Chain A
Amino acid sequence: MAGVRFWREFDTRYRMLATRCSQCGLVYFPPRTVCRKCRRRSVGKMEKVPLPPQGTVLSYTVVHQGLKGFDAQVPYVMAIIEFEGGVTVLGQVVDCDPEDVAIGMEVKPVFRRVREEGEAGVIHYGYKFAPPCFPVCVDESLASPE
Chain B
Amino acid sequence: MDVGILSYGIWIPRHRIATEEIARVWGKDGASMAAGLGVKSKSVPTVDEDVVTMSVEAAEMALRRCHFDRADVGAIYVGSESHPYAVKPSATIVAEAIGATPDLTAADFEFACKAGTAAIQTCMGLVKAEMIKGGFAIGSDTSQGAPGDALEYSASAGAAAFLISSGPDIIARIDHTLSFTTDTPDFWRREGQRYPSHGGRFTGVPAYFKHVVTCGEKMMEAQGTSAEDYDQVVVHQPNGKFPLKAAKSLGFPREQVETGLLTPRIGNTYSGAVPLGLAAILDKAGPGDRVLVVSYGSGAGSDAFDITVTDAIADYHREGDDLVETRIAFNKFIDYATYAKYRGKILMGGGE
Tell whether any CB of A sits under 8 Å from a CB of B in the complex.
Answer: yes
Closest chain B residue to A131, Cβ basis: B330
* Interface contact A138-B333, CB-CB below 8 Å: yes
Number of A-B contacts (CB under 8 A): 85
Residues in chain A near residue B96, CB distance under 8 A: 10, 14
- Cβ of B330 and Cβ of A133 under 8 Å apart? yes
Q: Please, how many angstroms separate the alpha-carbon atoms of A42 and B122 in the complex?
A: 47
Q: Is the CB of B321 within 8 A of A133?
A: yes
B33 at the interface (CB under 8 A from A): no
Which residues of chain A from 12 to 42 have a CB within 8 Å of any chain B CB?
14-15
Please determine whether A111 and B97 come into contact, CB atoms closer than 8 angstroms.
Answer: yes
B332 on the A face (CB < 8 A)? yes
B53 and A137 form a contact (CB under 8 A):
no
> In the complex, A72→B320 CA distance in Å?
30
Minimum CB distance partner of A146 in chain B: B264
* Inter-chain contact B53/A111, CB cutoff 8 Å: yes
CB distance from A129 to the nearest CB of B (A): 12
B341→A110 contact, CB < 8 A:
no
Q: Is the CB of A142 within 8 A of B53?
A: no
Residues A73 and B46 in contact in the complex (CB < 8 Å), given A137-B331, A142-B40: yes
Nearest A residue (CB) for B41: A142
Interface positions, chain B 142-167, Cβ under 8 Å from A, are none
Q: Are A113 and B326 touching (Cβ within 8 A)?
A: no
Residue of B with least CB distance to A76? B48
CB-CB under 8 A from B56, the residues of chain A are: 111, 125
B328 touches A143 (CB 8 A): yes
Least Cβ distance of B312 to chain A in Å? 24
Q: How far is the CA of A113 from the CA of B57 in the complex (A)?
A: 12
The reply to whether A142 and B18 form a contact with Cβ atoms under 8 Å apart is yes
Q: Determine if B204 is an interface residue (Cβ-Cβ < 8 Å).
A: no
The listed residue (A71, A112, A143) touching B265 by CB distance below 8 A is A143
B93 at the A interface (CB under 8 A): yes
A101 to chain B, nearest CB (A): 14
B-facing residues in A119-146 (Cβ within 8 Å): 123, 125, 128, 132-139, 142-143, 145-146
Q: Does B218 reach chain A (CB closer than 8 Å)?
A: no
Is there an interface contact between A136 and B331, defined as CB atoms closer than 8 Å? yes
Q: A40-73: contact bitstring with B at CB < 8 Å (1 yes, 0 no)? A: 0000000000000000000000000000000111
Interface string of B50-84 (1 = CB under 8 A from A): 10110011001000000000000000000000001
Chain A residue at minimum C-beta to C-beta distance from B60: A111
B329 touches A123 (CB 8 A): no
Give the contacting residue for A72; candidates B331, B332, B333, B341; CB below 8 A.
B341
A84 surroundings in chain B (CB, below 8 A):
none
User: In the bound complex, how far is the Cα of B99 from the Cα of A136, in angstroms?
Assistant: 32
Tell whether A123 pairs with B326 under 8 Å between CB atoms, given A111-B60, A113-B49, A145-B265: no
Interface residue? B14 (CB, 8 A)? yes
Question: In the complex, which residues of chain A have a beta carbon less than 8 angstroms from the beta carbon of B47?
Answer: 72-73, 113
Is the Cβ of B332 less than 8 Å from the Cβ of A97?
Answer: yes
**Cβ of B322 to closest chain A Cβ, rounded Å:** 10
Asked if A95 and B14 sit within 8 Å, CB to CB, the answer is yes
- Please measure, in the bound complex, the distance between the C-alpha atom of A94 and the C-alpha atom of B41, giving whole angstroms: 22
Q: Does B133 contact A (CB under 8 A)?
A: no
Chain B residue nearest in CB terms to A68: B352
B53 cross-chain contacts in A, Cβ below 8 A: 110-113, 125
List, in ascending order, chain B residues with CB within 8 A of A123's CB: 50, 52, 84-85
Smallest CB gap from B334: residue in A: A138
Is B169 positioned at the interface, with any CB of A under 8 Å from its CB? Answer: no
Is the beta-carbon distance between B332 and A125 smaller than 8 angstroms? no
Do the beta carbons of B321 and A132 come within 8 Å of each other? yes
Please tell me if B114 contacts chain A, counting CB pairs below 8 Å.
no
Task: Give the distance to chain B from A48, nearest Cβ to Cβ, in Å.
Answer: 11
Interface status of B188 (Cβ within 8 A of chain A): no
Q: Is B128 an interface residue (CB 8 A)?
A: no
CA distance A113 to B55 in the complex (A): 12
Q: Which residues of A contact B99 (CB under 8 A)?
A: 15
Whether, in the assembled complex, B311 has its beta carbon less than 8 Å from a beta carbon of chain A, the answer is no
Starting from the known contacts A123-B85, A142-B16, A145-B258, 7 additional A-B residue pairs (CB-CB under 8 Å) come to: A14-B96, A113-B48, A113-B52, A125-B52, A142-B18, A143-B16, A145-B264
Q: Across chains A and B, which 5 residue pairs bring their CB atoms closest together, nearest first? A: A135-B329, A111-B56, A133-B330, A112-B48, A14-B97
Q: List 12 A-B contacts (CB under 8 A).
A: A10-B96, A14-B96, A94-B46, A113-B49, A123-B84, A123-B85, A134-B326, A135-B330, A138-B332, A142-B41, A143-B328, A143-B329
